[in-house]
Amino acid sequence: MTNNAVIQRTKQPDSSGSDSSWRRPVLVVAVCLGLLYVLVLAGIIGIYVQNVQSNEALESRIAALESYNVNQTIRNTVSQVAFTAALGNTGYIGPVGYDTNLVFDEVITNIGGAYNSKTGVFTAPVRGVYFFMFTGHSLSDTNMGVSLVRNGNIIICKTFTQSGVFPSRHETASNSVTQTLEVGDQVNNVLWANTMINKHPNRYTTFVGQLLFLL
């Protein structure tokens, strides 16, 4: 009995001492878990915010690329300008006492539709550098003079064959040029006064134009 009581008495403070010693680590672990939870939550929020920001950055870059793509498509479409037309059929134009606008009525190519085969006038659809070439076919008993003109009266360049070879023979003269044009600028061919040009099914006389590049 006495021994038991002693054991009990000595056990009592022991067991209460071990009680407080397991409460502290549990508290520490709980605090640590709490901190960990806060850190993980902060991390998740941080990642979320970063994702939203990088999504916005990506979206604006995609929008810029789409806009660039649309612009390039427009540029590619408007840069398709190329035509060739001939003075077809048979007979002659001229000579008359005044300059005559030449209408190359037989269209071989007219990509972009900037050449008008009813008026003989090419109208620049976009600002750019264009290449033009023109030839004139004639008989050597008559002068033939052709000017390439811009906006009705500005002469870009000319070509010419002089009469004086008898009996008459076929002759062809040509010229070509690169020319910067603004939107709406017009280019056509003018037969000089008192000269004559040959219309021919062989398309000896042609007018060629194409856009080299946009400005």
Ligand X SMILES: *[C@@H]1O[C@H](CO)[C@@H](O)[C@H](O)[C@H]1NC(C)=O
Q: Do 149 and 156 meet the contact criterion of CB atoms below 8 Å apart?
A: yes
The reply on whether position 67 binds ligand X by CB under 6 A is yes
In this structure, which amino acid lies at residue 195?
A: T
64 sits near ligand X (criterion: CB under 6 A): yes
Contact 204, 138 (CB under 8 A): no
The piece of 61-69, 89-97, 102-110, 125-133 that touches ligand X (CB under 6 A) is 61-69
Task: Find the binding residues for ligand X in span 12-31 (CB under 6 A).
Answer: none
In the block, tokens 């006389």 appear at: 205
Instruction: Determine the interface stretch with ligand X among 7-15, 62-70, 81-89, 181-189 (rule: CB under 6 A).
Output: 62-70
Q: Is the CB of 36 or the CB of 183 nearer to ligand X? A: 183
Please say which residue, 7 or 58, places its beta carbon nearer to ligand X: 58
Shortest CB 215 distance to ligand X, Å:
14
Closest distance to ligand X from the beta carbon of 183 (Å): 14
Residue from 12, 54, 60, 71 touching ligand X (CB under 6 A): that is 71
> Any idea of the CA torsion for 136, 137, 142, 147, to the nearest 10 degrees?
0
By C-beta, is 66 or 141 nearer to ligand X? 66
Q: How far is the CB of 184 from ligand X (least distance, A)?
A: 18
Write the CA distances from 190 to 95, 118, 119, 120, 180, integer angstroms.
12, 15, 12, 10, 20
> With binding defined as CB under 6 A, does residue 76 bind ligand X?
no
User: Pick from 155, 144, 132, 149: which is nearest to 206 by CA?
Assistant: 132
| Total of residues contacting ligand X (CB under 6 A) | 4
Q: How far is the CB of 71 from ligand X (least distance, A)?
A: 4
Pick 67 or 168: Cβ nearer ligand X? 67
Nearer to ligand X, 71 or 151 (CB): 71
Using the rule CB under 6 A, which residue among 23, 68, 96, 212 binds ligand X?
Answer: 68
- Contacting positions for ligand X (CB under 6 A): 64, 67-68, 71
